[in-house]
């Protein structure tokens, strides 16, 4: 069937069979489907939707558009597992979760992404480490996964190339929000990683791409259903993103926060709870633990005894970073020259946070991108960010500590942060951190 006839069929609400979808995706990959045809297809899917069979077929076809990793030849003594997050402000879970899972017996080739819009990217945080090879060749990746148990990397050009082209088209045609296309985009890369099990962290709230719980639930249902349909066991947790996760937002600052947690110096409770519970779910799903409660105990134990920290340090060094980053982060991670606390104008409690605006304030400092070619300033961002209910104001804790490259940037960051926080006389009720499991 000609590409335009496939577009016509979907435009008219017809169900496409797997062979037809495979042919269209193959055309996206090799260029025989034009950009205008791919754009029209994305818009037709956006309005007409896909049923489960179509979603599974699209996901598999995009997976098969490039290299699919096969770990069987390494004779790994445990399952190959991973996590994916829909993104958020201060979402640094992967930095702790990957070594935690490796210390529990899993093998984690964690293919991560860069920042997108207001959300920070895991890959950007690791590239704040001097020498770290975020895109190793396949031989090095397999060596590190086998010997260390985890490797947090970026997707290479041969992983789901159809997704890269289609996503770029969706980004400029107002079709990013399609559940069908989001599902295929996420899962095609995870399926290409050759996983045995997957856990999803689907965010909702003011700092999430899916602001309402209902929207997040619909996405989680789609991802889990399609993943299982594609023979990849999966579970999803719906987690709150109405405030910054952890105390920091900004690449080197978030790395420092996670290094302190791995060293056993304490953590912001919400950050640790999300991380440990995702680990517990995945350990149970892949049969490394008999149940979720046992998985949680395993995750807590490897954090307490330092085994997760050891895996992190070994991974960083194996991928070209310094061997003593854990002990001496300030020797390697960049620091901003302007550091100052931002106090609230009045005493009270943090009643609401426009978390998306906090993320955009990091971008404005240079800690994120407004276009793909923009360089990242790893040093800038916010630390000691106040959470919901915190007592702030004169003589109390600041809204945040601003880390900026110049006084002018710091002034602008302060203006943006003040606008993002609502202060009231009483603390607000807090909703559940983990709202649902799917």
Catalytic residue among 60, 83, 142, 403: 83
Catalytic residue among 185, 188, 275, 355: 185
Catalytic residue among 55, 170, 270, 403: 170
Indicate if 190 belongs to the active site.
Answer: yes
Indicate if 83 belongs to the active site.
Answer: yes
Catalytic residue among 55, 84, 118, 270: 84
Residue with tokens 């020498």: 131
Indicate if 185 belongs to the active site.
Answer: yes
Indicate if 94 belongs to the active site.
Answer: no
Cβ proximity of 228 and 197 under 8 Å = no
Torsion on CA atoms 418, 421, 426, 428, rounded to nearest 10:
-170
**CA atoms within a 13 Å half-sphere pointing along the CA-CB vector of 241:** 33
Beta carbons within 10 angstroms of residue 250's beta carbon: 32
Indicate if 170 belongs to the active site.
Answer: yes
**CA atoms within a 13 Å half-sphere pointing along the CA-CB vector of 225:** 14
Tokens of 178: 């399609």
Cβ proximity of 10 and 1 under 8 Å = no
Looking at residue 61, what DSSP letter applies?
H
Catalytic residue among 55, 63, 190, 311: 190
Distance CA 419, CA 267 (A): 27
Catalytic residue among 85, 178, 227, 267: 85
**CA atoms within a 13 Å half-sphere pointing along the CA-CB vector of 415:** 8
Catalytic residue among 189, 311, 317, 356: 189
Indicate if 125 belongs to the active site.
Answer: no
Catalytic residue among 122, 178, 248, 267: 122
| Cα–Cα nearest to 275, from 251, 308, 231 | 308
Indicate if 189 belongs to the active site.
Answer: yes
Indicate if 256 belongs to the active site.
Answer: no
Catalytic residue among 64, 82, 180, 377: 82
Indicate if 84 belongs to the active site.
Answer: yes
| Catalytic residue annotation | 82-85, 122, 170, 185, 189-190
């Amino acid at each position: 069937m000609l590409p335009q006839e496939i577009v016509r069929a979907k435009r008219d609400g017809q169900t496409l069979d797997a062979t037809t979808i495979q042919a269209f995706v193959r055309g996206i990959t090799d260029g025989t489907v034009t950009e205008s045809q791919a754009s029209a297809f994305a818009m037709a899917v956006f309005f007409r939707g896909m049923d489960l069979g179509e979603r599974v077929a699209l996901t598999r076809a995009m997976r098969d558009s490039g290299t699919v990793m096969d770990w069987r030849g390494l004779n790994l003594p445990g399952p190959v597992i991973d996590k994916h997050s829909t993104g958020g402000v201060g979402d640094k879970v992967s930095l702790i979760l990957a070594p935690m899972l490796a210390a529990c017996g899993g093998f984690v080739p964690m293919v991560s992404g860069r920042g997108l819009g207001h959300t920070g990217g895991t890959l950007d945080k690791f590239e704040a480490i001097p020498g770290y090879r975020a895109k190793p060749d396949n031989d090095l990746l397999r060596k590190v996964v086998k010997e260390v148990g985890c490797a947090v990397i970026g997707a290479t050009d041969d992983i789901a190339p159809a997704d890269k082209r289609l996503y770029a088209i969706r980004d400029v045609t107002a079709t990013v929000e399609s559940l069908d296309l989001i599902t295929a985009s996420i899962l095609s890369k995870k399926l290409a990683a050759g996983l045995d099990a997957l856990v999803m962290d689907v965010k909702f709230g003011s700092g999430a791409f899916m602001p309402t719980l209902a929207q997040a639930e619909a996405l989680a249902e789609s991802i889990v259903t399609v993943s299982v349909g594609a023979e990849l066991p999966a579970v999803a947790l719906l987690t709150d993103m109405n405030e910054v996760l952890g105390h920091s937002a900004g690449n080197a600052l978030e790395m420092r926060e996670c290094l302190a947690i791995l060293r056993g110096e304490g953590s912001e409770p919400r950050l640790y709870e999300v991380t440990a519970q995702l680990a517990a779910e995945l350990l149970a799903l892949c049969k490394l633990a008999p149940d979720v409660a046992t998985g949680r105990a395993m995750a807590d134990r490897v954090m307490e005894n330092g085994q997760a920290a050891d895996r992190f340090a070994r991974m960083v060094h194996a991928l070209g970073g310094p061997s003593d980053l854990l002990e001496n982060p300030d020797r390697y991670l960049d620091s901003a020259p302007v550091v100052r606390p931002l106090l609230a104008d009045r005493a009270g409690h943090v009643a609401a946070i426009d978390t998306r605006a906090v993320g955009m304030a990091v971008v404005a400092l240079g800690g994120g991108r407004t276009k793909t070619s923009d360089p990242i300033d790893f040093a800038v961002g916010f630390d000691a960010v106040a959470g919901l209910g915190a007592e702030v104001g004169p003589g109390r804790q600041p809204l945040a500590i601003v880390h900026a490259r110049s006084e002018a940037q710091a002034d602008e960051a302060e203006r943006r942060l003040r606008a993002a926080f609502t202060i009231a006389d009483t603390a607000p009720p807090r909703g559940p951190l983990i709202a649902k499991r799917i």
